[in-house]
Structure formats: C-alpha cells, structure tokens
Amino acid sequence: MSIMKKSMPDKVFDSFNMAIMIIILILMVYPLYFIVIASFSDPYSVVNGHVYILPSGFTVEAYINVSEDSRIWLGYMNSIRYTIFGTLFSLALTIPAAYVLSKKNMLGRKFLIFYFLIPMYFSGGLVPTFLLVRSIGLMNKSYTLIFLGAMSMYNLIVARIFFQTSIPEELYESASIDGASNFRIFFQIALPLSSAIIAVMALFYAVSNWNSYFSALIYISNQRFNPLQIVLRNILINNQIMLSIEDMEPEEMLDAARRQLMAEGMKYALIFIASAPLLIAYPFVQKHFVKGVLIGSLKG
C-alpha cells in the first residue's frame, strides 16, 4: 500500500499549524508554570521581576507560613466535603430527571423541559435569591453549598441527550414486555449502561463544587463552613497592608514591608495549593471531559 507524499503547500500548512499550536501551548502552560516557580522564589525577586524560567532565591517560606494557618486545613476539609456530598446529591437529582425527560411518551414532557429551561436563561436576581435563601433557613449551614449548587440545567440537558441517543428504546420496550417496572428498568438497565454520562456529570459537578466561591461569599459568613477558596481569599486580604509612611516608625515600616513581601509569596503558594488537586486529577479524567463535550454536541 503506497503512502501519498505531502505536497509543499501541505507541508507549509502543517508547519504553520504546528507553530500556532506550540504558541498557544506556551501561552496556556507558562502562567501555571510561573505560579509554581514564583511560589518557591524569594518574594523580593518576584516583585522586582527577576523570576522568568527558574526560581530565584529558592525558599519554601511561603508554604511554611501557609501550613501553619489552621484555616487552610479547615477549608480543605470543607471543600472536600462539599465536593463529595455535593456531587453525589447532584447526581441523585440530575440522572433520574434526565432519564425521565428522555421519554418521548411521557405526559407533559415538553412543558417540563420548557419549565427547566427558564432558570437557565432567567434569574430572579441576587437580592431576591438572598432573601429566599435566608427565609428558608439555608444561611450559614454545613449543607448550604450542597443544596444551592445541586442542579445544573446544562448538565441536565446533556444527560437527557445521552439517554435519548445512546440507549436504544427497544431495550426498554423488551424489558417492559417481560414485566419489568419503570424503577427496575431504570436501576437495572439504564444506570448500568450510563456509566459514561455518570462519570462526566460527576466530573463536572466535582469541579464546580471544588471551585465554589461566589455562593460561599454571599451565603456563608461562619468561618467554620468556609470552603478553601474563601479561606484563601481571606488570608490574602488580611496580609495586604496599605503602607502609610506618616505615623510610622522605621521599624514599623520595615515590618510592614516584610509582611507585604510575605503576602506576595503566599499569594502564589495559595494559588498552587488550591489548584493542585484538579491539576493532579485532570490527566486521569481528561477522556471524560472530551466525552462530555461530544455528548453535548449530539442532536437531541
């Protein structure tokens, strides 16, 4: 079998594409790489722009300062709890709802789909939502973030498309003829064949719960329930000091400058600490991200 040789225009085009991809790769990877080397560099070198390729003045002081703060570990435990239980609760709502909405002969199906689409495009606003959450007693609870982020309309639509396009309707009909109930069909046929969409939805919800920030900022004021993202924000804000040359002794100015430099180093260390779990997990779950994109692109 002969292999066709590429023409010169094809080679030029491939080389151009390769160059563009390399540039895009560098633009995406270098910021992450810079955060890592800056977290291990002397803050003075980082502030003065002396860090480019390798750490300058290697130090782990920023990580030592972060590890000594008990709020970090409490935030980690809260984020892990929100991610695990929030993902399980979201799957328990999304997968059955998507399965039911995939049934074309279900009474009121179109109305329910339209009803679910409304909050996807329209919101009551921040203030009415805040008043509603407060009135039903969800403020400052250990389960607040789990309940508030329980359902994503986009994920529901993607899961519904999967059930409509990936599992033959004849399989359900055969089970129904054999006397299987709707619950038995769902648990013994639909769920075992839906491992791909379950993995995709679990991944999407887990990433969303781990990065949860705005909801915690609005609805959580008790520090015991703050997720990691809010803890990191509070630490950075507390370490940012406005230097006022007036009314300061020389020793106080030096101490304030030292704390600002320490805050600069801690900033990169905190970013890396918050991003590390997802960066480590991503290579193992990358195929599920791709599969989720392909499922969402199917016609349904």
Give residue 229's pLDDT: 86
Residue 180's contacts (CB-CB under 8 Å, 6 or more residues apart) are: 188, 189
Nearest to 60, CA basis, from 75, 45, 38: 38
Domain range summary for the chain, segments of one domain joined by +: 40-296
Report the alpha-carbon angle 216-217-220, nearest 5.
55
Give the fold, CATH level 3, of 40-296. MetI-like fold (1.10.3720)
DSSP string, 106-130: STTHHHHHHHHHHHHH----HHHHH
- Reported pTM: 0.77
Rounded to the nearest integer, the mean pLDDT of the chain is 81
What percent of the chain lies above the pLDDT cut of 90? Answer: 9
CA distance 206 to 86: 8
Q: Residue 152 and residue 204: Cα distance in Å, rounded?
A: 10
Taking only the tens place, the pLDDT of each residue in 141-189 is 888 889 988 888 888 888 888 888 888 888 888 888 888 888 888 888 8
Q: At what angle do helices 250-296 and 228-239 cross, to 10 degrees?
A: 150
Query: 10 Å Cβ neighbour count for 103?
Result: 15
The 10 Å Cβ neighbour count of residue 5 is: 7
CB atoms within 10 A of CB 291: 17
Residue 299 has pLDDT above 50, yes or no: no
In the predicted structure, residue 260 carries a pLDDT above the cut 80:
no
Picking from 14-28, 67-81, 221-235, 266-280, which range would have the lowest pLDDT averaged per residue?
A: 266-280
Do 145 and 209 form a contact (C-beta atoms < 8 A)?
A: yes
Q: What is the pLDDT of residue 90?
A: 93
Weakest mean pLDDT among 31-45, 61-75, 189-203, 255-269: 255-269
